[in-house]
Structure 1
Amino acid sequence: MNRRQCLSLAALAALAPSWAHADDAWPAKNVRLLVPFAAGGTSDILGRLIAERLQASLKQTVIVENRAGAGGVIGADAAAKSPPDGYTLLLGTIASHAINPALQPKMPYNAAKDFAPIILLGSISNVLLVGTDQPYKTVKDLIAAAKAKPDGIAFASAGQGSSQHMSGELFKLLAGADLSHIPYKGSAPAIQDVIAHQIPCSFETVTVALPHIQAGKVRALAVTSAQRSAALPQVPTMQEAGVPDFDVSSWQAMYAPAGTPPAIVARLNREIEKILALPDVKAKLDALGLVHTANTPEQFAEFGRKEMAKWAQVVKDGKVKPE
């Protein structure tokens, strides 16, 4: 090899991406995990579960910081505007990265461009609930009643832009049933009003609904996912109950700010996959009703693109407006 070739190789090496060995020195300090919802909810429980195990594998403290508000938008925006150095992560959801971008005309961040997808943590089915005072025993009963009423039937959700809200909007589209959306400030007050017979029905996550179903306080008519929920094996899917093509799951995922070195993203994907495969973690995921399938950052990115397109179409077809 002559001198000119050696110099050329040296120049190419100097131009090589700085991220090629970025994970060798990372992390050298605490990592921050932003959870864009209040403490105690599914996202918070999941975030803390992963953070506890992740700091053992990374050998650095992982600090969970709750930044609640606007359906996950406030926390997601804070993550999007953080340095892309691997020291800020976000536990994003269907609300922050698929529904609100489709529903809100002015978002402070671009869900498709401002984040580096790391891993899809899992999905949780929603369930259509009715109060025990209601005469509806099946989904078809509810559809028939909604069609017969001039103003339809009211349904509760955990809030505008939530997966529960959009489950109702998709139900209206696919079933041709006129339902009126009543948004609440969270799952707890919504389901309590169904229990108290203040509102006929609601869509809720299996995680929140399960104890109330088991206690006989509400009646489950169908789950919204394409497959039955392991937590509610006796409850049919919407498709089985007569609403074709219905498939909604509330998903949770891990993101970093766009521009985070790919080597760090890849390492986080590997570490979190290992965590999710641990027997005690799997047991806790089952208790949350969360279903995880191993995935790469590229596979998750493709899933995210499909979800954004899906909910943009539902918002358009259903003429759903911000409330």
Structure 2
Amino acid sequence: MQTMLRRLLGGFMLCLPLAAAAQFPNGPVRLNVGFPPGTGPDIVARTLSQHMGPLLGESVVVENKVGAGGQIAAQNVARSPADGQTLLLGEVGSISISPATYRNLNYDPPRDFAPISEVVRADFVLVVPASSPYKDLPAFVDAAKKAPDRVNFATFGAGTPGHFGAELFAREAGLKIEAIHYRSTGDAVSGLVSGGVQAAFVTTALAAPQVQGGKLRALATTGAKRSPALGDVPTFGEGGLPAVN
């Protein structure tokens, strides 16, 4: 893990001077993240900041610019001076999905951002409340197809990976779903645990403690192989839906 972090942080260091002023860094560096404290992106940002600070010789301050599935943070960084002092922890929602689905974004990733390094890759998992009658993916799909109403899926915002994961799953499985958008992943999981919604797509890292704690049940994971965090849970490919990946 430490070796991986050094490699990733080395990528940050090599690319920063290309976009920075001659005196970079010139004071504290701000690292913008588009989700609330305690969420997965926030934890990644704070871990990075702890390692980047000593390497840069300046403090790296995490700033949570919450809203619109990460778009607020991306917009804030796009409007900042291109001096390397303001960074964005981008994710697939704000960098790839939003530009493809929203016509009037206030930023353009290829034009406004210089990529530094890929930091994290995460598989997603389809989860239901532990009290759900569905024990596996086939049972869930079969029941959802027969249901008179749409299946409610919790997401952590419109246009986020969890939202698109649910829509992709619905398309491939031939289901009709209703996306219920929450402010954050934590809120979405809370809504799911309480039974307010029927299912959700969340990262394996976020789901694993809830599954192991008996609050959620995992039905299938994305990715070509089973997740080390949820080794007993089959992939969507094993369940006959290889495109959900």
TM-score (norm: length of structure 2): 0.86
- Report the Cα offset of residue 150 of structure 1: 3.0
Say which of 166, 186, 189 aligns to 1:191. Answer: 189
Amino acid at match of 1:242: G
**Partner residue, 1:203:** 201
**Whose radius of gyration is greater, 1 or 2?**
1
Matches within 5 A, 1:108-123: 108-123=106-121
Which residue of 24, 27, 30 maps to 1:26?
24
Residue 262 (structure 1) aligns with: none
1:143-182 alignment runs, 5 A limit: 143-182=141-180
Q: Indicate which of 51, 54, 57 corresponds to 2:55.
A: 57
- Of 33, 36, 46, the match for 1:35: 33
The alpha carbon displacement at 1:129 in A equals: 0.8
Question: 1:237 Cα deviation (Å)?
Answer: 1.1
Match of 1:217 in 2: 215
Q: Identify unmatched segments of 5+ residues in structure 2.
A: 1-16
Q: 2:81 — aligned with what?
A: 83
Contact 1:140 1:242 in 2 (8 A): no
Report the identity percentage: 39
* Alignment correspondent of 1:261: none
Please, which runs of 5 or more residues in structure 1 have no aligned partner? 1-18, 248-323
| CA displacement at 1:205 relative to structure 2 | 1.8
Tell me the alpha carbon deviations over residues 65-92 of structure 1, each in whole angstroms, 9 at most, x when there is no partner: 2211111111111111111112111111
Q: Secondary structure at the match of 2:31?
A: strand
Which residue number corresponds to residue 142 of structure 1? 140
CA separation of 1:84 and 1:186: change in aligned 2, threshold 3 A: same
Provide the rounded CA distance (Å) in 1 between the counterparts of 2:103 and 2:142: 34
Report if the CA contact (8 A) 1:138-1:241 is conserved.
no
Among candidates 99, 102, 108, match of residue 101 of structure 1: 99
What's the RMSD between the two structures over aligned residues? 2.0
Name the CA distance, whole Å, in 1 between partners of 2:146 and 2:95: 36
Report the alpha carbon displacement of residue 25 of structure 1 after superposing the two structures with TM.
4.2
Residue by residue over 1:188-231, the C-alpha shift from the partner in whole angstroms, topping out at 9 and shown as x without a partner, is 23222322223222212222222210111111001122322111
Q: Deviations over 1:151-180 (max 9, x none)?
A: 232221222112111110000111112222
For this pair of structures, how many residues does the alignment match? Answer: 229
CA distance in 2, matches of 1:25, 1:189: 42
Residue 68 of structure 2 corresponds to 70
Q: Tell which has more relative contact order, 1 or 2 (C-alpha 8 A, sep 6+).
A: 1
- State the distance in 1 between where 2:212 and 2:149 align: 31
